[in-house]
Amino acid sequence: MNTKYEVLKIAKKAKQASFEMLKADTKKKNFALNLIAKEIEKNKKIIKKENEKDIKNCKDKNFSSAFIDRLTLTDKRINQMIDSVNEIIKLKDPVGEITKNWVRPNGMKILKVRMPLGVICIIFESRPDVSIETSALSIKSGNCIILRGGSEAIHSNIILTDIIKLGLKKSGLPENAVEVIRTTDRKAVKYVLEMKDYIDVIIPRGGKSLVEFVAENSKIPVIYHDAGICHTYVDKKADIDMAVKVCYNAKVQRPGTCNAMETLLVHKEIAKNFLPKIYNELKKVNVKLFVCKKTKAIIKDGIPIKEKNFYTEYNDYILNIKIVDNVKGAIEHINKYGTHHSDAIITKDKKIAEKFLKEVDSAACFLNASTRLHDGFQFGLGAEMGISNHKIHIRGPLALEGLTSEKYIVKGTGQIRE
């Protein structure tokens, strides 16, 4: 099938379904989500079978271990997808919420009411669990969604979408409320970005090149899920054991994610005590270390760092380490090289902590906690479409409320403008 025609056909179906989704009440949406969770549970074996096809293809192409990890659907991760859907069921439905109301002197009553965005297209790479989480959020918020995953996860994304559509159909909601672009033709993204008559918002969730392509070519409003160059600063008054635990988690727990730490900043007065301890832990899992000159004197086998390293999102078992003079130096480094995503400080000094939390210009700043916690599920938001590090519409986890806009409802008794 012609790729442009396929994309147009999908977009038209989603747009038509969006008018049906506007009518759906909370009970019906939750019923659909419950059926989808059950279908995922029922079809675990076929999900893993299709996922194995993608894993094999990526291994044959020598993709990194971190990339393979992002792609892999284990029983645990499938269970997490089910849990995510069930958590979204429990959340308050934002649609129809009156956020503000007032009465004008002429008796006219004005209300601001939440409503769905309409048709969302999310363009993402490698992680097939995104298909479930974003679809569930879209359904609960009364939206329709078009999934455009990367070619490396095509089999996984198609089977997951088919399962979602089955749940929707059984519930009586339009199955076209969730669509997937089944071709791996790269031109599909270009065509999607032109469908302004059918698609209301684009969410790119991937690497820098993807986000830049969308920014340059989209005729549709974009909510950016941009690169995650995240930092952890270990202050001179840090609890050493806590710092080791948190920094290790921020880098190693799942390095292929956007909220994983890419640069570790260490106060000069604690470096000789802290660095050998974190080094011993990181070396157990073969993390490659790029280090500044001062760090090199402590970590002898570290690779001399270049400025370009500070601008790099590795998504892998690779870490930059730099010793700084104080919190001011850490803040300046983060605001210069970071992507305003997730940054943390480890300290027992309340004054230093408040300075860091106030002056670091990021979507989420953490005190004595891992950047890996910057996540919709961890924040109690059920799940997320992505994490926005831009400042328009929504910043941080893009969850249910962020998938709505507001419209004015004006109630009168015959008022006219004089």
- pLDDT, one tens digit per residue, over 192-251 is 999 999 999 999 987 778 888 998 999 999 998 878 899 999 999 999 999 999 999 999
pLDDT of the residue at 64: 87
Percent of the chain with pLDDT over 70: 100
The answer to whether 223 touches 203, Cβ cutoff 8 Å, is yes
pLDDT of the residue at 387: 86
Write out the two tokens for 111: 């209300």
- pLDDT, one tens digit per residue, over 273-308 is 999 999 999 999 999 999 999 999 999 999 999 999
Q: Could you state, in order of their start, the residue ranges of all structural domains in the chain? A: 3-225+385-411, 230-373
Superfamily in which the 230-373 domain is placed by CATH: Aldehyde Dehydrogenase; Chain A, domain 2 (3.40.309.10)
Tell the CATH topology of 3-225+385-411.
Aldehyde Dehydrogenase; Chain A, domain 1 (3.40.605)
pLDDT for 156 beyond 80 = yes
Range name among 27-41, 145-159, 194-208 with the lowest pLDDT average: 194-208
Confidence of residue 1 (pLDDT cuts 50, 70, 90): low
Q: In this structure, is the dihedral angle defined by the CA atoms of residues 200, 206, 207 and 210, taken in order, positive or negative?
A: negative
Measured in Å, how far apart are the chain's first and last C-alpha atoms? 58
Chain mean pLDDT for the chain = 94
pLDDT for 65 beyond 70 = yes
Residue 345 backbone dihedrals phi, psi, to 5 degrees:
-125, 140
Query: Across residues 374-399, what is the average pLDDT?
Result: 83
The answer to whether 250 touches 284, Cβ cutoff 8 Å, is no
Length of the chain (residues): 418
The answer to whether 324 touches 333, Cβ cutoff 8 Å, is yes
pTM, whole model, 2 decimals?
0.83
Q: Within 13 Å of residue 152, how many CA atoms lie on the same side as its CB?
A: 19
